[in-house]
Amino acid sequence: MIYPIVKYGNAVLEKPAEPITEFGAELKKLVDDMFESMYEAKGVGLAAPQIGISKRLAVIDITFKEDPNAKLVLANPEIIYKEGKQTQSEGCLSIPEFREPVTRPNKVTVRAQDINGKWYEKTGEELLARAFLHETDHLNGKLYISHLSALKRDLIKRKIRKLIKAGEW
Protein backbone atom coordinates (compact mmCIF):
# COMPACT_ATOMS: atom_id res chain seq x y z
CA MET A 1 0.00 0.00 0.00
CA ILE A 2 1.28 3.43 -0.91
CA TYR A 3 0.82 6.07 1.75
CA PRO A 4 0.59 9.76 0.92
CA ILE A 5 3.56 11.70 2.30
CA VAL A 6 2.73 14.06 5.16
CA LYS A 7 3.96 17.57 4.47
CA TYR A 8 5.55 20.24 6.62
CA GLY A 9 2.92 21.91 8.78
CA ASN A 10 1.50 18.64 10.09
CA ALA A 11 2.27 18.32 13.83
CA VAL A 12 3.23 14.63 13.51
CA LEU A 13 6.50 15.73 11.86
CA GLU A 14 7.56 17.82 14.83
CA LYS A 15 7.01 15.52 17.78
CA PRO A 16 9.22 12.69 19.03
CA ALA A 17 7.98 9.30 17.81
CA GLU A 18 7.13 6.32 20.03
CA PRO A 19 9.47 3.31 20.31
CA ILE A 20 8.76 0.15 18.32
CA THR A 21 8.00 -2.64 20.77
CA GLU A 22 6.47 -5.37 18.61
CA PHE A 23 8.32 -7.07 15.79
CA GLY A 24 5.74 -9.14 13.97
CA ALA A 25 3.74 -9.44 10.79
CA GLU A 26 2.20 -6.00 11.27
CA LEU A 27 5.60 -4.32 11.36
CA LYS A 28 6.75 -6.29 8.29
CA LYS A 29 3.70 -5.06 6.39
CA LEU A 30 4.37 -1.48 7.51
CA VAL A 31 8.01 -1.72 6.42
CA ASP A 32 6.99 -3.08 2.99
CA ASP A 33 4.50 -0.24 2.63
CA MET A 34 7.13 2.29 3.66
CA PHE A 35 9.60 1.08 1.02
CA GLU A 36 6.83 1.16 -1.57
CA SER A 37 5.78 4.67 -0.54
CA MET A 38 9.39 5.88 -0.50
CA TYR A 39 10.10 4.57 -4.01
CA GLU A 40 6.84 6.02 -5.30
CA ALA A 41 7.86 9.42 -3.91
CA LYS A 42 11.37 9.01 -5.42
CA GLY A 43 13.08 9.17 -2.06
CA VAL A 44 16.09 7.36 -0.63
CA GLY A 45 14.83 7.47 2.96
CA LEU A 46 11.50 7.62 4.73
CA ALA A 47 10.56 7.87 8.40
CA ALA A 48 7.22 6.61 9.74
CA PRO A 49 6.05 10.09 10.89
CA GLN A 50 6.21 11.09 7.22
CA ILE A 51 3.28 8.78 6.56
CA GLY A 52 1.52 9.99 9.69
CA ILE A 53 2.66 7.15 11.97
CA SER A 54 4.47 8.40 15.04
CA LYS A 55 6.74 5.37 15.51
CA ARG A 56 10.53 5.16 15.68
CA LEU A 57 10.90 3.43 12.35
CA ALA A 58 12.67 4.42 9.14
CA VAL A 59 13.66 2.81 5.86
CA ILE A 60 16.64 3.76 3.70
CA ASP A 61 17.87 2.73 0.27
CA ILE A 62 20.48 5.16 -1.00
CA THR A 63 20.88 3.09 -4.19
CA PHE A 64 17.18 3.51 -5.06
CA LYS A 65 16.47 -0.17 -5.94
CA GLU A 66 19.91 -0.79 -7.53
CA ASP A 67 21.22 -2.97 -4.73
CA PRO A 68 18.77 -5.11 -2.70
CA ASN A 69 21.39 -5.32 0.07
CA ALA A 70 21.25 -1.57 0.46
CA LYS A 71 17.68 -1.73 1.77
CA LEU A 72 17.91 -0.85 5.45
CA VAL A 73 15.27 -1.03 8.15
CA LEU A 74 15.96 1.07 11.22
CA ALA A 75 13.75 0.52 14.23
CA ASN A 76 14.54 2.59 17.33
CA PRO A 77 17.73 3.97 15.75
CA GLU A 78 20.30 6.02 17.62
CA ILE A 79 23.40 7.72 16.32
CA ILE A 80 26.24 6.42 18.48
CA TYR A 81 29.26 7.88 16.67
CA LYS A 82 29.91 10.92 14.45
CA GLU A 83 33.07 12.03 12.71
CA GLY A 84 34.12 14.73 10.25
CA LYS A 85 32.06 17.16 8.25
CA GLN A 86 30.31 17.27 4.88
CA THR A 87 28.19 19.91 3.21
CA GLN A 88 25.72 18.75 0.57
CA SER A 89 22.41 19.84 -0.80
CA GLU A 90 19.65 18.21 1.22
CA GLY A 91 15.91 17.88 0.72
CA CYS A 92 13.00 16.11 2.36
CA LEU A 93 9.92 14.39 0.91
CA SER A 94 7.86 16.29 3.49
CA ILE A 95 9.23 19.64 2.27
CA PRO A 96 8.98 19.12 -1.50
CA GLU A 97 10.56 21.49 -4.02
CA PHE A 98 13.03 22.92 -1.52
CA ARG A 99 16.71 21.99 -1.21
CA GLU A 100 19.45 23.64 0.80
CA PRO A 101 23.07 22.88 1.60
CA VAL A 102 23.33 21.31 5.05
CA THR A 103 26.54 20.63 6.96
CA ARG A 104 26.54 17.33 8.83
CA PRO A 105 29.07 14.78 10.10
CA ASN A 106 30.67 12.82 7.24
CA LYS A 107 30.82 9.46 8.98
CA VAL A 108 28.33 8.14 11.50
CA THR A 109 27.47 4.86 13.17
CA VAL A 110 23.87 4.06 13.85
CA ARG A 111 22.60 1.45 16.30
CA ALA A 112 19.16 0.13 15.44
CA GLN A 113 16.94 -2.93 15.43
CA ASP A 114 16.18 -4.77 12.20
CA ILE A 115 12.81 -6.10 11.06
CA ASN A 116 13.14 -9.03 13.50
CA GLY A 117 14.09 -6.87 16.46
CA LYS A 118 17.77 -7.82 16.30
CA TRP A 119 20.11 -4.97 17.26
CA TYR A 120 22.84 -4.08 14.79
CA GLU A 121 25.33 -1.31 14.19
CA LYS A 122 26.14 0.15 10.81
CA THR A 123 28.61 2.83 9.79
CA GLY A 124 27.93 5.02 6.81
CA GLU A 125 29.78 7.80 5.06
CA GLU A 126 28.66 10.69 2.91
CA LEU A 127 25.10 10.08 1.60
CA LEU A 128 24.47 7.09 3.88
CA ALA A 129 25.67 9.05 6.92
CA ARG A 130 23.39 11.90 5.87
CA ALA A 131 20.45 9.50 5.52
CA PHE A 132 21.07 8.01 8.99
CA LEU A 133 21.13 11.51 10.48
CA HIS A 134 18.18 12.87 8.50
CA GLU A 135 15.91 9.91 9.31
CA THR A 136 16.94 9.72 12.97
CA ASP A 137 16.21 13.45 13.22
CA HIS A 138 12.70 12.78 11.88
CA LEU A 139 12.05 10.32 14.71
CA ASN A 140 13.05 13.03 17.17
CA GLY A 141 10.61 15.46 15.58
CA LYS A 142 13.38 17.39 13.88
CA LEU A 143 13.49 18.47 10.22
CA TYR A 144 16.57 19.30 8.16
CA ILE A 145 15.59 22.97 8.02
CA SER A 146 16.39 23.15 11.74
CA HIS A 147 20.05 22.82 10.68
CA LEU A 148 19.83 25.94 8.49
CA SER A 149 20.41 29.52 9.58
CA ALA A 150 17.33 31.18 11.11
CA LEU A 151 17.24 33.51 8.13
CA LYS A 152 17.10 30.70 5.55
CA ARG A 153 14.67 28.68 7.63
CA ASP A 154 12.28 31.61 8.02
CA LEU A 155 12.43 32.30 4.30
CA ILE A 156 11.43 28.69 3.53
CA LYS A 157 8.67 28.77 6.16
CA ARG A 158 7.34 32.00 4.69
CA LYS A 159 7.25 30.50 1.19
CA ILE A 160 5.47 27.41 2.52
CA ARG A 161 2.88 29.55 4.34
CA LYS A 162 2.17 31.28 1.04
CA LEU A 163 1.78 27.94 -0.72
CA ILE A 164 -0.58 26.73 2.02
CA LYS A 165 -2.69 29.89 1.65
CA ALA A 166 -2.81 29.40 -2.10
CA GLY A 167 -3.91 25.81 -1.59
CA GLU A 168 -0.74 24.57 -3.33
CA TRP A 169 0.85 22.66 -0.47
Positions annotated as catalytic residues are: 135
24: burial class by Cβ within 10 Å (0-12, 13-18, 19+)? exposed
CB 50 within 8 A of CB 15: no
User: Cβ of residue 24: shortest distance to Zn ion, in angstroms?
Assistant: 27
User: Cβ of residue 46: shortest distance to Zn ion, in angstroms?
Assistant: 8
User: Cβ of residue 94: shortest distance to Zn ion, in angstroms?
Assistant: 5
User: Cβ of residue 130: shortest distance to Zn ion, in angstroms?
Assistant: 11
Decide whether 8 or 30 has the Cβ nearer to Zn ion: 8
Q: Strand 119-125 relative to strand 86-90: parallel, antiparallel, unpaired?
A: unpaired
Decide whether 88 or 116 has the Cβ nearer to Zn ion: 88
Q: Residues interacting with Zn ion, by CB under 5 A?
A: 92
Decide whether 23 or 33 has the Cβ nearer to Zn ion: 33
| Number of residue whose CB is nearest Zn ion | 92
Torsional sign, CA 39, 25, 109, 136:
positive
Decide whether 94 or 113 has the Cβ nearer to Zn ion: 94
